[in-house]
Chain A
Amino acid sequence: MRVLRLAIKELIRRPQRNAMLMLAIVLSIALITSLTIVGNSANITILEVIAKTGHTLTVKPVITEENATSLGNLTTTEVVIGKYIPETVIPEIKKLYDKAIQSGWEKRGLLLPSTGSIEKEVRIEPPTWAPRLYEKVRFKDKDIIVAGVEFDKEYFVRFWWNLSSGEWPTDATRLREVQEDDALIGGSLSTVLGYKTGDRITINNMEFRILGVLEETNSPDDYMLFIPLKTAQRIFDKKGLVSLLSVRAMCPQCPVGDAMIELNKTITGITAVSQLDVAQVQFDFFNMLYKFLLAVIISTIAVGIFSIFNTVTGSLYARIREIGMLKAVGASGFQLLRIFLYEQLIIGLISGFIGYTAGIGLAYILNSLLGIKALIKLNPEYFWRALIFGVICSLAAIIYPAYKFSKLKITETFRTQWEI
C-alpha cells in the first residue's frame, strides 16, 4: 500500500460525488477544446481563402439574396445567373482599377523612387483579368452550372487549381491552342455525373471533350463545367456579356481595397469585392468571437471551481475522523496533503481526458452546424492542454481546503470522539 493507492481507493469509494466533481471540469474542457478546434478550423478556412485568392478582386452585377444559387449542398451568391456585365464596360472598369491602384501606391509614397530608400520602390506588374459567363442548364435531370472562361487567364487567377486527371486546355507556355470544344469539369460535378477525363458531354447541342477533372477546392468551382468563354457566349446567345470578372493583382502589397472602393463608387450596376478584405473581416470577427466566448467560458469555470471547492470541503468534513485517525497513526500534514492532492490530480487527469474527447465530438458537430469546411486537425497540444487544464482546475479547487485539513489538530478531528 502506498499513499497513491490509498488515494485511488478513496476515489473509488465515492463514485457519484467524484462524477459530479468531474462533470463541471469535463464540461469546461469540452467547451474550451471544441471552441479552440472550431476557431482554428474557421481561421484555417479563412486563411486558405486568403492564401488562395490573395489580392483578388471580383466584380459582378449587383445582386440580392434571391439571386443566390444552390450547388449541391452549397448555396452561394458568388455565382450569379441571369444578370450580366456588358463587355463594353470592362475597359472602363480596367481603367478605373489601374488608376486606383496607381493612386493608392502614390498615396503611400511607394511608387516614386525616393532617395536613400530604394527598398521602397515597387514594380507594378499588369493585373490578370479573368471574365466568366455563368449559365444554368438541365443535364440528365440535374441543374448544372456551365462557366464560360478564358482558360489562359483562369490558369493565372485560379492558381490553386490542380487537376486530379487529364491536362490543361492551355497553360503558362501556351503551347496548345484552346479548342472551342475543350472542357474541364469540377471534382464534385465529375463524381455526381460520373464523367471523367476523355468523356464527351453535350451541352445545348454542342459536344465537348473533357480534357481534365479539377481537384476539389471547397468552392463553387467544384460544381461547374468549364468551357471556352466565346463558345459559351455563342451557344447561350450571350454575346458581349459576362457574369463575373476576377482580377488578380500581381503584386503582394497592391492596394486592391482602394480599387474596390473606387469601382463601387463610380460604376453603377456592379459590385466589387476584395477577397482579402472579406476574409480579413471574417478572420477578425472569428477571433473576436473566439475571445469573447473564451472569456464567458473562463468566467463559468471560475464559478465551477468555487462549486468544486464547496463540494470538496464538504467531502473532507465528512472524512474528518479518518483524517484524524491517519494523523494519529503517524501521517504528517504533508503526507495527508499528498493524499488529497493525488485524489484531485487523478480527477483532473480523467476529466481532462474525457473533456478532450467530448470536445472533439462537439467540435465535429459545431463545424458541421456552422458549415466550416476546413478539416478538424487534432493537435496533440490540445490534448496536453486539456489534461493540464483539468489538473489545474481540480487542484485550484482543493488546494486551500486540503491545506487547512492537513493542518488540523488531531483533537479537532476527534472532538466528538475523545472526550474531555
Chain B
Amino acid sequence: MDGFIRAIDLKKVYYVGNQKIEAVRGVSLQVERGDFIVILGHSGSGKTTLISMIGGLTRPSSGNVFIEGINLWALGDKELSLFRNKKIGFIFQSFSLLPSLNVLNNVVVPAIFSKKAKKDRKALQSRAHSILSDLNMVDKMNSYPSELSGGEQRRVAIARALINDPDIILADEPTSELDIRTEYEVIEIFQNINEAYKKTIIVVSHTLSWAQKAKKVIVMKDGLIYDNIADPVETLMGGMSKRI
C-alpha cells in the first residue's frame, strides 16, 4: 500500500459509565494525494471519530494512521502538534474563530505556532491576503467574527486552514447550519481548493449535497465504512430513498 494517507484497522472504544461504545470498529482507508473524499453518515455513525483519528486529534484504541509514511500515533505530543500545524488544516463544525481577533489575525493564528511562518511576517501577511482574496473576503479583513455572516465565518475558517499551506484539509460538517445557497458556495470553495491548491481533502458530512462534487464518497454506518459502493445515497438512506 503506497497511499498518501493510510488508516489501518482503526478502532475506537469509549466507555460511558459501564457502557462500552464502539464508535469505530476496524476501519481501513487509503487516500491518495489530491483526493477529495466525502464521508457521509448519520449522526453517531463514527465519522467524526474517524476523521479525528486520521487528523491526530483522537488517539485510536487500536490501529495506525500513516501520513506520507509517518506513523502519526507514534509521535510525541510536541511532534504531533508540529505535524498537525504543518501538514493538516482543520475546519471545525462550529467556526471556532477567536472573537478578540479580526479576520486577518484569525487567519494567521496557526502561523503563531509555526516556526517557519514566524521568520517571515511579511510573507505571512501577503499569503493571508492572497487566500482571503481568493475567498472574496479581502474587504472584511479588518472585521471581527461577530460582524460576519455564517458563510463569511466559514470562509475565514477555511482561510485559516490554508494559511500554513498544509497538504491535507480535514473538515467536519463545514456546511452545517448554513442555508442551501451558502452551502453550495462553500462546497464550490472546497472544490476549488482541491483543484487550484492541489490539497487532499476529507470532508465529513451528513449532507448529500457533497456527494455530487467529491471525487470519492464513503459511507459510514455503525462504526464501519462502505466504499466502492454503487449507490452511496441508497446505502446511507437504507432503502428509504427508493420509497421517497
Contacts and interface: CB of A to CB of B under 8 A. Distances in A.
B96 A321 contact: yes
Given A6-B112, A328-B84, A330-B113, A420 B44 contact: yes
B241 interface: no
Contact of B90 (A321, A328, A420): A328
Given A329-B85, A330-B85, A420-B49, A411 B109 contact: no
Contact of B109 (A329, A410, A418, A419): A329
A420 B48 contact: yes
Nearest to A330: B85
A415 to B, nearest CB: 11
Band of interface residues on B: 35 or more
**Residue of B43, B81, B82, B110 most packed against chain A (CB within 10 A):** B81
B90 A418 contact: no
Interface stretch (B2-10, B64-72, B98-106, B185-193): B98-106
A13 B102 CA distance: 12
A315 to B, nearest CB: 13
B48 A327 contact: no
B130 interface: no
A330 B82 contact: yes
A2 B112 contact: yes
B82 A333 contact: no
A325 interface: yes
B114 interface: yes
Contact of A1 (B48, B90, B111): B111
Contacts of A6: 98, 101, 109, 112
Contact of A410 (B44, B58, B101): B58
A166 B113 CA distance: 75
A335 interface: yes
A222 B52 CA distance: 84
B105 A1 contact: yes
A3 B112 contact: yes
**Residue of A409, A411, A418 most packed against chain B (CB within 10 A):** A418
B93 A9 contact: no
B21 interface: yes
A420 B160 contact: no
Contacts of B96: 321-322, 324-325, 417
A332 interface: yes
Contact of B48 (A322, A329, A418): A418
B40 to A, nearest CB: 14
A418 B52 contact: yes
A178 to B, nearest CB: 80
A330 B78 contact: no
Contacts of B81: 327, 330-333, 335
B26 to A, nearest CB: 16
B154 interface: no
B77 A411 contact: no
B100 A420 contact: no
Nearest to A10: B100
Given A326-B109, A330-B84, A331-B113, A420 B23 contact: yes
- Would you list the 7 A-B pairs with minimal beta carbon distance, nearest first? A330-B85, A13-B100, A325-B96, A329-B110, A332-B81, A9-B100, A330-B113
29 contacts: A1-B105, A1-B112, A2-B112, A6-B109, A9-B101, A12-B100, A13-B99, A324-B96, A325-B98, A326-B113, A328-B55, A328-B84, A328-B90, A329-B85, A329-B160, A330-B113, A331-B85, A332-B81, A333-B81, A335-B112, A335-B113, A410-B57, A417-B92, A417-B93, A417-B94, A418-B49, A419-B48, A420-B14, A420-B21
Interface of A: 1-3, 6, 9-10, 12-13, 321-322, 324-335, 409-411, 414, 417-420
